[in-house]
Chain A
Amino acid sequence: MNKRRSALLGAALATALLTSACGGGLLDSGGEEESTDGPITLGMVVPMSGSSSAIGPYMQNGAQLAINEINADGGVLGRDLELQVEDEACDPQSAVAAANKLVSDGVAVSVGGYCSGATLPTLPIFEDAGIPMIIPAANSDELVDQELPNVFLINGTGSQQADAAEAFIESEGASEVALVNDNTSYSVNIAEATRDRLEDGGVAEVAAFESVTPGESDYSANVNAILSASPDFVYWTGYYQEGGLLVRQLRQAGYTGDIMVADGSVDASLVEIAGADLAEGVYATMTQTPDTIEGAETWIQDYTDEFGEAPGPYSTQAYDAVRVAAQAIEDAGSTDGEELISALEGIDGLDLFSGPLEFTDEHTLSSGGFVILQVQGGTFALAPSAS
C-alpha cells in the first residue's frame, strides 16, 4: 500500500511539474514570437460552423483578398502577411479556445469577431497577450463598454444601429412596435437601445419586448405572445437562423405588418429558411454589403475571380480590417502591441468602404453607416424608400 501510494504521489508530482513547465513554455513562445523576419500572422476568429456558419467564409475570403493584394504590393515592412482562421461557432467556449490558440501561435493582430456574445470573452485574452483587435462585424455596445485599450470596432455599434432603426420605424409611420431578441449580448443590446430611443421619441410605442430561445424550431408560443400585442412593426435583433423561422411562423400565423431584422440576420440563408415568398419585403438595418456600395463592382469582380463565388455580408468589412491592420503595422514600424495601438489611434482618413476612418475616443467609428435593406425577389437590396 505504501509503495503504491508513493508511486502515485510521485507520478502526480511529475505530471504537475511537466504541465507547469509546458504552460510557461507555451506562453513564453507566444510572446517571444517577435521575430523580425518571416510572415506576419493575422488571426481571425469567425464562425465556420454552427448557426452563423454561412458568414465565416465571406469574412475569411474578404480578408484573404486584402492579404493577397498587400503581399502582391510588397507586403508590410518588407514581410508577407498571413491569415490564420479559427472557428468560433458563435459559441463563447469555442471562441475562447480559438482565441487561446491564436495567442499561443503568435498572431500580431486579431481581425476577426462576428457574434458579439462569442467575441466578448476573447477580449481579455487578447488584451493579456497585448494583441490589438480590429473587429469587423461584432458590434454590441458591451464590447465598447469593456473599455479595453486594445479593442477597435470598425462596424457601427449597437447604439448606432438602434439610431438607424428608430429613424426608419418613425419614418414608416409605425405606431405599435414589437422588439424580439434572442437573449445574446448583441441582440439584447440593439433591442434595448431601440426601445429606449422609441420611448424617448414618443412617436411609436413599444407594444411588446420578447425573447426567444435560440436553437429551437417551434416559436409558436412566442409568435402568439407577439401577435397578442397587435403590433404593426416587428424588429428581430438576432441571427438569421432563428430570424428565418420567426419570419416564416409570423407570416403563417397571419401577421401582415412590417418585419425588420438587424444586421446579424442579413444573409441569403434567412430567405431560404423562411421561404422566398414569405421573406419578401422584409427590411433590414445593415452597414453595407458589397452590392450596396457604389463603385464596388471591380472589387466584387476581383473577389469572384479569386474565390469562384460572389462576396457576401461582411466581406468588405473583413477586407477593411486587414487593411487597417496593415496600415497600423506600417505606421508603427513593428508588430509590438503598444505601438500598434498608438498607430491605430493615430489613423486619420484611411479610405475604407464605410468612408474615411478615424477612430473615436472609444475606438469606434464616428458614424455607423447603417442603411435600410429590403428583401426583393429573394435577395437583400437597398430599400427604395430608404432615407
Chain B
Amino acid sequence: MSQLIWNGLFVGSFYALIALGYSMVYGIMKLLNFAHGDIYMLGAFTGFAVLGLAGGIPASMSLVALLVVLVLTMLATGFAGVAVERVAYRPLRGSPRLAVLITAVGASFALEYGMRVAAGPNPRVFPVRLGGESFEVLGARITVSQLVLMVVAVGLMAVLNAYVMRTSTGRAMRGIALDHKASLLMGVNVNAVISRTFFVGSALAGAAGVMAGAYYGRIEFLMGFVIGLKAFSAAVIGGIGNLKGAMLGGLVLGLLESFGTYFLGGEWRDVFAFGVLILFLTFRPTGLLGERVTERV
C-alpha cells in the first residue's frame, strides 16, 4: 500500500511539473498549449545531446553531471518555449480562441516530427542512467535516485511558487490572469511577462524531460504526446489556471493511476486516468481547487 502511494507520488511529480506549465499559460492567455508535452520531449533530447557531447562520465559523477545538464536543459527549453510563443501564438493574439488552439496542435506536430527528422524515429537510450541502492521506509521500497528526483521536483515547484507570489513579475502574471486589459492600462509590459511565463513553464517541462530520461532511460520523439495529455488532465483535475491546483492535480493523477492499475489491472491504466478526467469535467469542471475566474465588479 505504501509502495503504491510512493509510486503514485513519484509519477505524479512528473505530471505536476508539466501541468504547471499548462496552468500558467492557461491562466495568463486562456490558451491550452498542446505543444507543452513536446517541450518535455525536447528537454529529454537536449539532455541526451548534451550528455552525448560530454562523452564518457564516470558513474560517481553521474548525479553532478545530471544536475549540470538539468540547468543547461532548462535554459535551452525555456528559450525554445519562448520561440514557440513568438512564432505560433503571438501573431494570433487577437484571434478567436479556436484559432490559437489549432495552432497549438500544429506546433505540437511540428515539434514532434521535426525531432523525428532530426534524431530519427527510433528510441534512444540515455547515456547516464540513475540506478542506485534502495531502502525500505514504512514498507515501501525507495531508491536514492527516486528520492533525489522528488527533491528536485519539489524544489522547483517551491521556487516557482515563490517566484509567482513574491516577485513583481509574478505579481504581473497574476494581474494579467485577472484582467488583461487593465494590466495593460496599469503599465505592465504584457508581452514581456507572457514570454517569461512561457520561459518558466517550458523550463520546468524540460527539467521533467531530463529527469525522465535519466530515470527511465528510453526517449523517443513521441514521448511528449501521452504525457502532455496526462499533464493536461492533471491540470484540469486540480483546477486549470491555478498553480497549486496543478501541483495537487499532478499528484492526485499519479496516485489514481497507481491505485487504478493495482485494483483494475495494467491495461486499464489510461482508461482509468482519462475516465477520472471525464468525471471531473462533468461534475466539477473548475477542478479540485477551483479555476481562477475573472472577477467582474
Tally A residues with Cβ within 8 Å of B. 33
Is A96 engaged at the interface, CB distance under 8 Å to the other chain? no
Q: Could you tell me if A53 and B266 are in contact, using CB atoms closer than 8 angstroms?
A: no
The DSSP consensus for interface residues of chain A is: loop
A51 to B123, CA, bound (A): 7
Known: A49-B121, A221-B257. A253 touches B218 (CB 8 A): no
Q: Could you tell me if A213 and B121 are in contact, using CB atoms closer than 8 angstroms?
A: no
A161-180 vs B, CB cutoff 8 Å, 1 = contact: the mask equals 00000000000000000000
Is A210 engaged at the interface, CB distance under 8 Å to the other chain? yes
Q: Could you tell me if A218 and B11 are in contact, using CB atoms closer than 8 angstroms?
A: yes
Count contacts between A and B, CB distance < 8 Å. Answer: 82
Is B179 engaged at the interface, CB distance under 8 Å to the other chain? no
Chain A residues within an 8 Å CB radius of B260: 221
Chain B residues within an 8 Å CB radius of A275: 129, 131, 217
Q: Which of A213, A219, A220, A273 contacts B267 (CB 8 A)?
A: A213
Q: Could you tell me if B261 and A222 are in contact, using CB atoms closer than 8 angstroms?
A: yes
Chain A residues within an 8 Å CB radius of B3: 224
Is A216 engaged at the interface, CB distance under 8 Å to the other chain? yes
Known: A49-B122, A222-B261. A245 touches B216 (CB 8 A): yes
| Chain A residues engaging chain B, CB cutoff 8 angstroms | 49-51, 53-54, 89, 183, 210-213, 215-222, 224-225, 228, 241, 244-245, 248, 252-254, 272-273, 275, 278
Known: A213-B269, A248-B217, A254-B141. A221 touches B7 (CB 8 A): yes
Chain B residues within an 8 Å CB radius of A215: 222, 226
Chain A residues within an 8 Å CB radius of B134: 252, 254
A139 to B11, CA, bound (A): 35
Known: A183-B267, A241-B218, A273-B218. A53 touches B4 (CB 8 A): no
Interface members, chain B 1-44 (any A CB < 8 Å): 3-4, 7-8, 10-11
Chain A residues within an 8 Å CB radius of B267: 183, 211-213
Known: A224-B7, A252-B134. A211 touches B121 (CB 8 A): no
Interface members, chain B 121-142 (any A CB < 8 Å): 121-123, 125, 129, 131, 134, 141
A217 to B261, CA, bound (A): 15
Q: Could you tell me if A221 and B269 are in contact, using CB atoms closer than 8 angstroms?
A: yes
Is B202 engaged at the interface, CB distance under 8 Å to the other chain? no
**CB<8 Å pairs between A and B, sample of 11:** A53-B122, A213-B266, A215-B222, A217-B223, A220-B10, A221-B11, A221-B258, A224-B262, A244-B217, A244-B218, A254-B134
